[in-house]
Structure 1
Amino acid sequence: MTQPQGTAAAVRARLWDGPTRIVHWGLVALLGFSWWSAENGQLTWHRWSGYAVLGLLLFRIVWGFVGSGSARFASFVRGPRAIAAYLRTLPSRSPTDVPGHNPLGALSVLAILALLAVQVVTGLFAVDLDGFEGGPLSDRVDFDTGRVIAGWHDLSFTALQVLVALHIAAVVLYAVYKRNNLIWPMITGRRAFGADPGLRFAPVWIALLAAAAAAAVAWWVSKGLRF
């Protein structure tokens, strides 16, 4: 979730880089596909979707430390005092001109990433009722433990659905109440500001290295941590 956009802003500047946008929309698509494949018993596709989610999640975590300015955790994760100060501004329809995630949106980002991590990890160890289908690490646990983890997998997805619904509601609220479109900048990468925020953007080679590392780890996990 980005900070509100001022109606009198004069400069359209870069806000979100390509890797951040790819991860965002990739996770949107994969979560929908993961839900569909699970509901329709397409467990092979469900597993591959989960591996793709794992790869994107790993990349986003790495990108949060080495990526562009607006994507780094240090640029938007704030303490309780900053969050409380931001909450006091919510009733106002006046926009602010700070780039990136606001303190409340940062909590949403962290919570979604955390729940995605729970989803992926529990899916790796989960076992289905007949014991024939399971994650690539399900052989590391006994059947009963695998079934318990499968229950956690289901519960965490329900929690993720609730959080995504709240995230969408917040986006709609910003669009209607504060007249601030948060979706378009995540598509185009640009947003209007009163002045160029001067964000630093990471070079492509760092993104490629991070993507290769994330893909390699996801592949290794898909093989049950075996070469």
Structure 2
Amino acid sequence: MTEASLLSPAPAPLLAWDLPTRLAKWGLAALVGLAFVSRYYGDVGLVWHQWNGLAILVVVVFRVLWGVVGGSTARFAGFLRGPAAGLRYAASLLKGRPQHFLGHNPLGGWVVMALLALVAAQGLTGLFTSDDIIVYGPMTNVVSDETIRSASTWHHRLYPFLLGLIGLHVLVNLAYSLFGRDNLIRAMITGTKPAATYVDRAPATPGGVGLALACLVLAILVVFGGIALAGGHPFP
């Protein structure tokens, strides 16, 4: 190693995920955990559990909006790829020479979408769930008893699938962080990855804070306003 190389500064890390994307991810993770706690250890009427579910829906709607107008690695168009890209990525993993992406890889992108879909379904069915005694979801007063029974059933049926997918997501991220080149957990905390050659564009282009706040306000209006317009009671 030459003296010049010793004195030259290390390349600056590259932006991988902007702050709104990271806050949405960790916020949703915290809310899903709190949903479990408030369901089994909360108040009798599950008021906190219902607030928890409404907050989850707000974050999901925000993430959908941010997936359209957010930073480059947050946009669905930036990380959702077809089956051919997924197969190429899987083949590179099997060969021990995985492709490196600054944002989500082709398989991870679809896992993110599956998680969002399951969390959204869990939250939406919760709006129509009731135990016929104390707990009444925000939309139970505008639907039939049959719809309430069906929603309540699915609200409980979806839960194991959601937990399983979350567990798989955590294990894969741990494996990448401990044994791979990409420390995904650290990157989702700091927002950066080491300077290197990536398949997707680097560095990422962040979304604006003002735009993120506008998406958050719109998400709140969609969830609470939508329930109110449909004749439900948006506040537990």
| TM-score, normalisation: structure 1 | 0.88
For 1:123 and 1:141, locate their aligned partners in 2 and report how far apart those are by CA, in whole Å.
13
1:97/1:41 CA distance change after superposition, 3 Å: closer
For 2:87 and 2:55, locate their aligned partners in 1 and report how far apart those are by CA, in whole Å.
36
Equivalent pairs counted in the alignment come to: 218
1:93/1:11 CA distance change after superposition, 3 Å: farther
Q: Which amino acid aligns with 1:46?
A: H
Aligned with 2:209 (options 204, 211, 223): 204
Deviations, residues 133-155 of structure 1 (Å, cap 9, x unaligned): 12111112223431221110111
For 1:192 and 1:219, locate their aligned partners in 2 and report how far apart those are by CA, in whole Å.
41
1:77 aligns with 2:62: no
Give the alignment of 1:52-91 within 5 angstroms: 52-91=55-94
Q: Which amino acid aligns with 1:30?
A: L
CA-based RMSD of the aligned residues comes to 2.0
Q: Secondary structure at the match of 2:204?
A: coil
For 2:120 and 2:78, locate their aligned partners in 1 and report how far apart those are by CA, in whole Å.
22
Deviation at 1:158, TM superposition (A): 1.4
- Aligned identity (percent) is 38
Deviations, residues 177-225 of structure 1 (Å, cap 9, x unaligned): 3243110111111111226813222222211111111112223246474
Q: Secondary structure at the match of 2:182?
A: coil
Q: Which has the larger radius of gyration?
A: 2
Counterpart residue number, 1:150: 152
1:193/1:187 CA distance change after superposition, 3 Å: same
Give the alignment of 1:98-177 within 5 angstroms: 98-130=101-133, 132-177=134-179
Give runs of ≥4 in structure 1 deviating > 6 Å: none
Q: Is the 8 A contact 1:93 1:177 kept in 2?
A: no
For 1:35 and 1:53, locate their aligned partners in 2 and report how far apart those are by CA, in whole Å.
12
For 1:141 and 1:95, locate their aligned partners in 2 and report how far apart those are by CA, in whole Å.
50
| TM-score, normalisation: structure 2 | 0.85
Counterpart residue number, 2:32: 31
Please list every run of 5 or more consecutive structure 2 residues that lacks an aligned counterpart in the other structure: 1-9
Q: Is the 8 A contact 2:58 2:223 kept in 1?
A: yes
Counterpart residue number, 2:6: none
Q: Secondary structure at the match of 2:73?
A: helix
Q: Is the 8 A contact 1:136 1:224 kept in 2?
A: no
For 1:65 and 1:118, locate their aligned partners in 2 and report how far apart those are by CA, in whole Å.
20
Q: Is the 8 A contact 2:92 2:98 kept in 1?
A: no
For 1:198 and 1:41, locate their aligned partners in 2 and report how far apart those are by CA, in whole Å.
43
Counterpart residue number, 2:20: 19
For 1:217 and 1:180, locate their aligned partners in 2 and report how far apart those are by CA, in whole Å.
36
Counterpart residue number, 1:6: none
Q: Is the 8 A contact 1:125 1:140 kept in 2?
A: no
Q: Is the 8 A contact 2:42 2:48 kept in 1?
A: no
Q: Is the 8 A contact 1:76 1:106 kept in 2?
A: yes
For 1:64 and 1:212, locate their aligned partners in 2 and report how far apart those are by CA, in whole Å.
16
Q: Is the 8 A contact 1:95 1:178 kept in 2?
A: no
Please list every run of 5 or more consecutive structure 1 residues that lacks an aligned counterpart in the other structure: 1-8
Deviations, residues 3-60 of structure 1 (Å, cap 9, x unaligned): xxxxxx9440111111101110101110011011111253100000011101100000
